Amino acid sequence: MPIGKPSHDLSLKLKLLLIKHGKCSACVDRPKAKYCGRCFNTRLEPGVLEALTVLDLGAKFKENGKRVFQELSEDDYVNPPEGSYFSHVLERKKKLERLYDELQHAPAGSEHEAKAMRELLWAIDA
Decide whether 18 or 24 has the Cβ nearer to Zn ion.
24
| Segment (H or E) for 51 | helix 46-64
For the chain, the farthest-separated pair of C-alpha atoms sits apart, in whole angstroms, at 49
Q: Output the smallest distance, CB 8 to Zn ion, in A.
A: 29
Of 99, 98, 100, 77, the closest CA to residue 89 belongs to 77
Please report, as ranges, the residues that interact with Zn ion according to CB under 5 A. 24, 26-27, 36, 38-39
Q: Output the smallest distance, CB 54 to Zn ion, in A.
A: 20
Q: Output the smallest distance, CB 32 to Zn ion, in A.
A: 12
Is residue 117 within 8 Å of 103, Cβ to Cβ?
Answer: yes
Decide whether 37 or 109 has the Cβ nearer to Zn ion.
37
Decide whether 30 or 67 has the Cβ nearer to Zn ion.
30
Q: Which residues pair with 44 in a beta bridge?
A: 23
Decide whether 19 or 106 has the Cβ nearer to Zn ion.
19
From first CA to last CA, the distance across the chain in angstroms is 30
Q: Output the smallest distance, CB 26 to Zn ion, in A.
A: 4
**For the chain, what's the residue count?**
126
